[in-house]
DNA sequence: TTGAAAGCGCTAACAA
DNA sequence: TTGTTAGCGCTTTCAA
């Protein structure tokens, strides 16, 4: 059978091809009778307008590129699902671009592909965009929203939570509950989130007049986080009484290592605080105290921002930072009460 | 600046527009000199061929639709990531369609959208396709591969693991290690996987001459699985000594409930076996004995099958079933040795 | 409100 | 090998 075109419908309905087009075009002028006739014929042929052909004229593909580094951290599939639902409401769909590889050359290829597909916009989650890449997208007139990452480039819009403040809050909580030997297994130092959370940790400690017990880069990676934990606990001069970890995904690894390799108890021997509050964090097996990223608001703002960029290019870039909230669960304890 | 077209490049290079087209078309005949000239001009303008315009002629969009119900079960983001990488190799990208809603009407809408985007093929993961929907896709000439689901419809190709055999193996293992009161929290009975795994469980038990302790539908849902667990352990006449659970995702819920609500130990009080072997299952916190789905082979076969369907429509449908393997970890024990 | 006609950016005959 | 030309299926002027 193959494709049914508007011309087929037109012939069947005995009207012009443009009449068919109009009935399927939002806000075009067609009489009720015409619309009825056309829709009837269209239904009988199971006709649907070809978005690709439409895109050629309108210049809009109704495709949004989601560039994402990895999906093993539950935060991202969760975001993907929510973004997809929200975009669907607006008549857009997500084309997935995996960009785990960190070489500039690989990144260039991803941008090539983005341009090829004539995407209407880009949501870059958990990936850094070099200046040159950002400029290419600008030249091609493809708006970009950074999701859960910020960039020095002031022309890039982004939505994040306030990572500095969130980390500071978490650290202050640990201090207020009597922890004094605080270690930080940080997010990847090449990312804004990694750096900002580390800075928040350092700031809280400094204000308190305390030195960090240790800071190790866990690179947002499970294996690296386990290595970091081992390193932390191999020190001879006592153990940390609390670890602030750069995200929940690493936290699970750290907790597994502490419990099943070190044989220590959480929070009795060491308290743990994470960042993100992914669904898994609330499961009893981990029951993690963590800084909740306001993911729904982040999604909402990302989409609102992107739609603005798509529909009126005049919008000036904004770096939105939403407030996160500390969710206290079972991996922390009040050491002041202990004795 | 906006879009750069092949005509712009042609003018800049002082050649015809078709010459530009040819240099960017696989297997077209262009001289080395021409190609060089064109590429130079193209690079200077940062030109990329418009896939959408190309699609209009070739009839191929290089877009594959992934229809997926949910992403909270780690099996699916994992599959999505792997599918995306494998398809990228072949020059395809994944457009995401979320189809959690189970009403026929919603499903029709999803198919509408699929057709709109002129996708070259569909991978339906974790979703059922009614006959009428499958027929619509057939009419539109869009090939479908079912991933991790089978359907009665013999015209639909699918790739699954052998769920019946996998479940049977798991159950036989429990029997061989001295368990006698076996319960099953099953996958959703409206799905092929749910039914086949339940059948494998029942078959092994019957061959052994044993009645199931209980069978409850957990619907592949965390909350439902927890409810099922509560129900199971509220019975007055003793407790099960083993539970075979329809997938790992539910397993985590069941284990959480057993440990933190019932206060029982795994495997000392009750053994647990899951299905899938998602990454999380090997983490020490769960360390789950489970039937591993050969996901890499499943991905490979799915893509191979889909490419076949796309490139030669003559391919007859195949229901591929790959062998799964029981991975014994820490949630099972040998009760024969216990005393 | 409707139809005729032009053209979106590209590929693929067809000639040269 | 190259250029010319005719569409792919649609939207959007422009007249009627």
Of B208, B147, B146, the C-alpha closest to B172 is B208
Across the interface, whether the CB atoms of B46 and A136 are under 8 A apart is answered: yes
pLDDT on residue A126: 81
B175 touches strand D (CB under 7 A): no
Q: List beta partners, residue A192.
A: none
A334 touches strand D (CB under 7 A): no
Euclidean distance between CA atoms B118 and B170, whole angstroms? 42
Euclidean distance between CA atoms B82 and B76, whole angstroms? 10
| Separation in Å: D10 C1' and B215 CA | 55
* b/e B286-312 (16+ beta carbons within 10 angstroms → b): bebbbbbbbbeebbebbbebbbbbbee
| C-alpha count within 13 angstroms, C-beta hemisphere, residue A107 | 15
Across the interface, whether the CB atoms of A84 and B70 are under 8 A apart is answered: no
Residue in A55, A63, A98 nearest the CB of B84: A98
Of B198, B200, B230, B227, the C-alpha closest to B215 is B198
Predicted TM-score (pTM) of the model is 0.95
pLDDT on residue B209: 97
* b/e A30-41 (16+ beta carbons within 10 angstroms → b): beeebeebbbeb
Mean pLDDT of B87-112: 90
Using one digit for the tens of pLDDT, what is the confidence trace for B284-305? Answer: 999 999 999 999 999 999 999 9
pLDDT on residue B203: 98
Burial class (CB within 10 angstroms; exposed 0-12, middle 13-18, buried 19+) of B1: exposed
Taking C1' of C7 and every protein CA, the nearest residue is A57
pLDDT on residue B135: 86
Burial class (CB within 10 angstroms; exposed 0-12, middle 13-18, buried 19+) of A211: exposed
Q: What's the gap in Å between the CA of A326 and the closest CA on chain B? A: 23
Asked if pLDDT for residue A1 goes beyond 60, the answer is: no
Locate the chain A residue with the closest alpha carbon to B24.
A116
Asked if pLDDT for residue B339 goes beyond 70, the answer is: no
A-B C-beta contacts closer than 8 Å: 142
Share of residues in chain B with pLDDT > 90 (%) = 82
pLDDT on residue B313: 66
Burial class (CB within 10 angstroms; exposed 0-12, middle 13-18, buried 19+) of A314: exposed
Asked if pLDDT for residue B1 goes beyond 60, the answer is: no
Q: Picking from A35-39, A105-109, A168-172, which range would have the lowest pLDDT averaged per residue?
A: A105-109
* b/e A58-92 (16+ beta carbons within 10 angstroms → b): eebbbbbbbbbbbbbbbbbbbbbbbbbebbbeeeb
With CA of A22 and C1' of each nucleotide, the nearest comes out as D11
Helix axes A6-13, A32-45, angle to 10 degrees: 120
Averaged pLDDT score across all residues of chain A? 94
For residue B113, the chain A residues in CB contact (below 8 A) are: 93
Asked if pLDDT for residue B138 goes beyond 90, the answer is: no
Euclidean distance between CA atoms B323 and B129, whole angstroms? 24
- Compute the CA torsion angle B94, B97, B102, B106 (nearest 10 deg): -140
**Structural element, H or E, at residue A303:** helix A295-311
Using one digit for the tens of pLDDT, what is the confidence trace for A177-232? Answer: 999 999 999 999 999 999 999 999 999 999 999 999 999 999 999 999 999 999 99
pLDDT on residue A313: 66
User: Residue B42: which pLDDT band, with cuts at 50, 70 and 90?
Assistant: very high
* b/e B200-226 (16+ beta carbons within 10 angstroms → b): bbbbbbeeeeeebbbbbbbbbbbebbb
């Amino acid at each position: 059978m193959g494709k049914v075109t508007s011309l087929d419908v037109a012939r069947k309905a005995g009207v012009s091809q443009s009449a068919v087009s109009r009935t399927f075009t939002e806000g075009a002028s067609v009489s009720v009778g015409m619309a009825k006739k056309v829709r009837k014929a269209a239904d009988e042929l199971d006709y649907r307008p070809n978005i690709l052909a439409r895109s050629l004229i309108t210049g809009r593909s109704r495709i949004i590129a989601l560039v994402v580094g990895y999906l093993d951290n539950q935060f991202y599939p969760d975001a993907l699902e929510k973004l997809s639902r929200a975009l669907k409401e607006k008549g857009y769909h997500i084309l997935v671009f995996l960009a785990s590889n960190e070489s500039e050359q690989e990144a260039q290829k991803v941008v090539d592909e983005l341009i090829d597909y004539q995407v209407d916009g880009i949501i870059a989650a958990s990936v850094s965009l070099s200046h040159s890449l950002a400029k290419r997208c600008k030249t091609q007139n493809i708006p970009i929203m950074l999701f859960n990452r910020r960039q020095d480039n002031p022309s890039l819009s982004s939505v994040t939570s306030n990572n500095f403040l969130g980390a500071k809050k978490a650290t202050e909580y640990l201090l207020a509950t009597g922890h004094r030997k605080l270690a930080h297994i940080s997010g990847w130092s090449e990312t804004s989130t990694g750096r900002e959370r580390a800075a928040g940790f350092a700031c809280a400690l400094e204000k308190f007049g305390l030195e960090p017990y240790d800071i190790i880069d866990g690179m947002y990676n499970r294996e690296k986080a386990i290595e970091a934990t081992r390193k932390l606990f191999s020190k001879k001069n006592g153990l940390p009484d609390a670890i602030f970890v750069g995200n929940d995904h690493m936290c699970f690894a750290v907790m597994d290592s502490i419990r099943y390799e070190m044989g220590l108890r959480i929070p009795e021997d060491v308290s743990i605080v994470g960042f993100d509050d992914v669904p898994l964090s609330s499961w009893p097996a981990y029951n993690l105290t963590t800084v909740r990223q306001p993911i729904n608001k982040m999604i909402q703002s990302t989409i609102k921002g992107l739609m603005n960029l798509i529909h009126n290019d005049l919008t000036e870039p904004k770096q939105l930072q939403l407030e996160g909230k500390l969710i206290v669960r079972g991996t922390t304890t009040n050491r002041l009460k202990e004795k």
